[in-house]
């Protein structure tokens, strides 16, 4: 696990990681010295004559000055102890803060890496995954990796070092205490902590499942709040969220017990051990005046080592119980590596657009969704000339949206190929191709931001061209409602998914967005009421006036929208069954005539 954590932390800077470890070793060293700096003080204060005779005392007197009085030696020993204590604790504070900062920056870097990887994914990936799982991965799991894995792992290094340094140092003074203490700690670990860790691990699995379920249920309930309220089904969703929450909370309630157990156990072991030591000395008739400074010193060592020992076990338990978050995150990262190894391009975050001059061509293109029985579209073969207006019509489920997704490069054909100007639309051309397309999708998506941010989609506020937004709004017939209906004009906030706008207003904004970047292809997947024939004519004319030649690809239900289109392709069961101009089809195709009659 430490190796995996190292691989996750490395991209945040090897130098920083080494600096964190150096500070940690320094912290452990100074803390150990701080405890031992008490030894001369305690000995000097309890029996100065004996101290002067001891090896440590002779060395100390030499440093302070041979002729120093008892008083001076005691004060010097006290000052030394005090100074190192302050230094040790100061360094501890700094070191803890430095580690925490590093661990959290690892989580931050990880989150950005995962996000970059996500936006570079093919659209198909998102069709197979619930967004609540991704939210959990990006928010909870990555947070856990920082706070419950990287940080405890670094803390663990510091704790282990403190315990080992102390043990080595005490070995010279009280070897028997170290040997007995070591055996007790190892036995305690094996007999008590080991089973607790296993239980804690199982509990954390239950908590993670609970969190996943809770995210899923809340996401589901809030996503459909309008329908839930309208159908008066609030109770059903409250029950589902409540059940998921109660499963999670029941598991969580066991965590503090597992966390507290090492602490209580150690207190009993260490202080109980010291009491037993004193009692056995009384029984053996030993001189307590000699014993007390030793006991005092061990008590100070115990006071220092105990929190480290407790934390060491608690952190080991935490690492163990957070393992699943690490597995999920490394799983996602590994997927990225596999995917790059398979020749998939990395995220295209460029700006360039694909210049094209004459045609888009589908050559026997087929596509089947994963897990579906048959292809959603099959053997699509057609050509769209630059500047043409082409429509796809057909009954529901006939494959029109799938065709559009293929055209935009959101889906990759499972058979055949798509050519732009006779060159395949391969991975390297898809980004630039999409940047030439203005797309209004069937399920409109609006940001919970201002009207301007929604039109200039993906532009930072400082590069947003407000004059252009207004100009485009005019073309999309959205200017009137922006200027008159809403008090704050372009800065009006539209609400989550645009709830504060009417359906038609949402469509007009989506259309304005599609036009903002001056597309050479306008793809409209059932953008119905916003695109009545008059608006559509305004749009194409405005683009032409701006010097652009626009190609329009439309999926429409209302035949009046596409009456004067250059070509209409009729789809049924994923195949184009006939094509022609509106008048041709009305004249020659019974199926088309009945379709018109049905769709009116
Ligand atoms: N993500 C998916 N996974 C599996 N099958 C899908 C998926 N999306 C669509 N399909 C199936 O593919 C077929 C074509 O769907 P598509 O959305 O392209 O039809 P459409 O012509 O646009 O329909 P509509 O006019 O109702 O919007 C349908 O049978 C549909 O059930």
**Contact indicator for 552, 540 with CB cutoff of 8 Å:** yes
**Contact indicator for 45, 74 with CB cutoff of 8 Å:** yes
Domain boundary among 314, 331, 348: 331
**Residue of minimum CA distance from atom 3 in ligand 1:** 369
In this structure, the answer to whether residues 508 and 472 fall within a common structural domain is: yes
**Residue of minimum CA distance from atom 7 in ligand 1:** 369
Q: pTM for this one?
A: 0.73
Kindly state whether residue 495 falls inside one of the protein's structural domains.
yes
What pLDDT sits at residue 474? 83
Kindly state whether residue 345 falls inside one of the protein's structural domains.
no
For residue 148, what is the domain's CATH number? 1.20.1560.10
**Contact indicator for 325, 149 with CB cutoff of 8 Å:** yes
How remote is the CA of residue 527 from the centroid of ligand 1, in Å? 17
Tens digits of residue pLDDT in 373-387: 899 999 999 999 998
Instruction: Look over the chain and give the mean of its residue pLDDT values, rounded to a whole number.
Output: 84
Gap between the Cα atoms of 405 and 67, Å rounded: 92
Kindly state whether residue 401 falls inside one of the protein's structural domains.
yes
Tens digits of residue pLDDT in 221-277: 888 787 887 777 888 888 888 988 888 888 888 877 777 777 777 778 878 888 888
Percent of the chain topping pLDDT 70? 94
Question: Is the Cβ atom of 376 under 6 angstroms away from ligand 1?
Answer: yes
What pLDDT sits at residue 545? 67
For residue 478, what is the domain's CATH number? 3.40.50.300
How remote is the CA of residue 426 from the centroid of ligand 1, in Å? 24
pLDDT value at 32 more than 60: yes
Reported confidence tier of residue 280, pLDDT bands at 50, 70, 90: confident
Kindly state whether residue 346 falls inside one of the protein's structural domains.
no
How remote is the CA of residue 578 from the centroid of ligand 1, in Å? 20
What pLDDT sits at residue 569? 96
Question: Is the Cβ atom of 441 under 6 angstroms away from ligand 1?
Answer: no
Query: What is the extent of the structural domain holding 28?
Result: 2-331
Kindly state whether residue 578 falls inside one of the protein's structural domains.
yes
Question: Is the Cβ atom of 410 under 6 angstroms away from ligand 1?
Answer: no
Please give the residue that has the higher pLDDT: either 267 or 87: 87
Question: Is the Cβ atom of 373 under 6 angstroms away from ligand 1?
Answer: no
How remote is the CA of residue 413 from the centroid of ligand 1, in Å? 15
In this structure, the answer to whether residues 165 and 276 fall within a common structural domain is: yes
What pLDDT sits at residue 561? 75
In this structure, the answer to whether residues 58 and 204 fall within a common structural domain is: yes
In this structure, the answer to whether residues 300 and 400 fall within a common structural domain is: no
pLDDT value at 344 more than 70: no
Ligand 1 atom at minimal distance to the Cα of residue 405? 18
In this structure, the answer to whether residues 400 and 326 fall within a common structural domain is: no
Gap between the Cα atoms of 473 and 443, Å rounded: 20
**Residue of minimum CA distance from atom 12 in ligand 1:** 376
Ligand 1 atom at minimal distance to the Cα of residue 371? 4
pLDDT value at 600 more than 70: no
What pLDDT sits at residue 399? 94
Residue 424, beta-bridge partner list: 419
In this structure, the answer to whether residues 174 and 269 fall within a common structural domain is: yes
In this structure, the answer to whether residues 233 and 373 fall within a common structural domain is: no
Kindly state whether residue 498 falls inside one of the protein's structural domains.
yes
pLDDT value at 194 more than 80: yes
Pocket test for ligand 1, best of 125, 127, 369 (most atoms within 8 A of CB): 369
What pLDDT sits at residue 292? 76
Please give the residue that has the higher pLDDT: either 293 or 96: 96
Beta-carbon-side half-sphere exposure of residue 512 (alpha carbons within 13 Å): 31
Question: Is the Cβ atom of 129 under 6 angstroms away from ligand 1?
Answer: no
Kindly state whether residue 414 falls inside one of the protein's structural domains.
yes
In this structure, the answer to whether residues 213 and 120 fall within a common structural domain is: yes
How remote is the CA of residue 402 from the centroid of ligand 1, in Å? 6
Pocket test for ligand 1, best of 126, 400, 528, 571 (most atoms within 8 A of CB): 400
**Residue of minimum CA distance from atom 18 in ligand 1:** 399
How remote is the CA of residue 124 from the centroid of ligand 1, in Å? 13
How remote is the CA of residue 383 from the centroid of ligand 1, in Å? 22
How remote is the CA of residue 388 from the centroid of ligand 1, in Å? 26
In this structure, the answer to whether residues 104 and 248 fall within a common structural domain is: yes
In this structure, the answer to whether residues 323 and 471 fall within a common structural domain is: no
**Residue of minimum CA distance from atom 25 in ligand 1:** 396
Q: Which residue has the tokens 């500047």?
A: 387
In this structure, the answer to whether residues 131 and 258 fall within a common structural domain is: yes
Beta-carbon contacts of residue 17 (< 8 Å; ≥ 6 apart): 6, 9, 10, 102
Identify the DSSP state of 493. Answer: B
Beta-carbon-side half-sphere exposure of residue 211 (alpha carbons within 13 Å): 17
Ligand 1 atom at minimal distance to the Cα of residue 128? 1
DSSP-assigned letters across all residues of 236-252: HHHHHHHHHHHHHHHHH
Tens digits of residue pLDDT in 292-337: 777 777 887 787 788 787 778 777 777 877 787 888 888 888 877 7
Kindly state whether residue 260 falls inside one of the protein's structural domains.
yes
In this structure, the answer to whether residues 439 and 504 fall within a common structural domain is: yes
Number of domains forming the structure of the chain: 2
Average pLDDT of span 269-290: 82
pLDDT value at 54 more than 70: yes
**Residue of minimum CA distance from atom 23 in ligand 1:** 397
Average pLDDT of span 360-370: 95
What pLDDT sits at residue 486? 55
Gap between the Cα atoms of 408 and 423, Å rounded: 15
């Amino acid at each position: 696990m430490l190796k995996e954590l190292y691989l996750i932390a490395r991209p945040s800077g090897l130098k920083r990681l080494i600096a964190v470890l150096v500070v940690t070793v320094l912290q452990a060293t100074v803390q150990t010295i701080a405890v031992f700096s008490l030894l001369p003080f305690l000995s000097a204060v309890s029996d100065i004559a004996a101290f002067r005779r001891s090896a440590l005392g002779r060395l100390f007197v030499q440093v302070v000055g041979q002729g120093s009085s008892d008083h001076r030696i005691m004060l010097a020993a006290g000052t030394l102890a005090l100074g190192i204590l302050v230094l040790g604790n100061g360094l501890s504070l700094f070191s803890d803060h430095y580690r925490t900062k590093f661990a959290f920056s690892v989580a931050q870097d990880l989150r950005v890496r995962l996000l970059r990887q996500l936006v570079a994914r093919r659209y198909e990936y998102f069709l197979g995954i619930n967004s609540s799982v991704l939210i959990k991965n990006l928010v909870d799991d990555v947070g856990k990796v920082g706070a419950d894995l990287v940080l405890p792992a670094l803390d663990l290094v510091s704790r282990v070092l403190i315990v080992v340094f102390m043990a080595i140092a005490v070995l010279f003074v009280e070897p028997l205490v170290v040997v007995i203490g070591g055996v007790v700690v190892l036995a305690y670990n094996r007999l008590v902590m080991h089973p607790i860790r296993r239980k804690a691990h199982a509990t954390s699995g239950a908590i993670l499942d609970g969190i996943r379920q809770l995210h899923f249920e809340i996401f589901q309930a809030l996503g459909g709040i309008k329908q839930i309220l309208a159908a008066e089904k609030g109770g059903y969703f409250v029950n589902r969220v409540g059940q998921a929450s109660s499963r999670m909370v029941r598991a969580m309630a066991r965590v503090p017990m597992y966390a507290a157990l090492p602490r209580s156990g150690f207190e009993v072991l260490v202080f109980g051990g010291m009491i037993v030591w004193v009692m056995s000395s009384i029984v053996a008739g030993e001189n307590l005046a000699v014993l007390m400074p030793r006991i005092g010193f061990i008590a100070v060592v115990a006071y220092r080592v105990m929190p480290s020992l407790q934390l060491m076990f608690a952190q080991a338990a935490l690492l163990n119980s957070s393992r699943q978050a690490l597995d999920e995150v490394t799983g996602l990262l590994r997927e990225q590596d596999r995917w790059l190894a398979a020749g998939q391009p990395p995220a295209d975050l460029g700006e360039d657009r694909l210049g094209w001059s004459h045609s888009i061509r589908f050559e026997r293109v087929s596509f089947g969704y994963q897990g579906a029985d048959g292809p959603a579209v099959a053997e699509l073969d057609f050509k769209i000339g630059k500047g043409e207006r082409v429509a796809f019509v057909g009954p529901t489920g006939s494959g029109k949206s799938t065709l559009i997704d293929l055209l935009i490069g959101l889906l990759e054909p499972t058979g055949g190929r798509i050519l732009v100007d006779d060159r395949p639309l391969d991975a390297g051309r898809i980004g630039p191709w999409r940047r030439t397309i203005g797309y209004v999708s069937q399920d409109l998506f609006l940001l919970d931001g201002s009207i301007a941010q929604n039109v200039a989609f993906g532009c930072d506020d400082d590069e947003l061209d407000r004059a252009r937004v207004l100009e485009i709004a005019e073309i999309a017939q959205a200017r009137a409602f922006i200027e008159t209906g809403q008090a704050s004009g372009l800065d009006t906030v539209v609400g989550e998914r645009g709830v504060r706008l009417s359906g038609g207003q949402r469509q007009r904004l989506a259309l304005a967005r599609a036009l903002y970047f001056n597309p050479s292809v306008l793809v409209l997947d059932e953008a119905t009421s916003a695109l009545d024939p008059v608006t559509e004519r305004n749009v194409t004319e405005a683009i032409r006036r701006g010097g652009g030649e626009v190609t329009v690809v439309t999926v429409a239900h209302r035949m009046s929208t596409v009456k004067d289109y250059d070509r209409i392709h009729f789809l049924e069961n994923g195949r184009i069954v006939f094509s022609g101009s509106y008048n041709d089809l009305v004249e020659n195709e019974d199926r088309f005539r009945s379709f018109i009659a049905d769709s009116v």
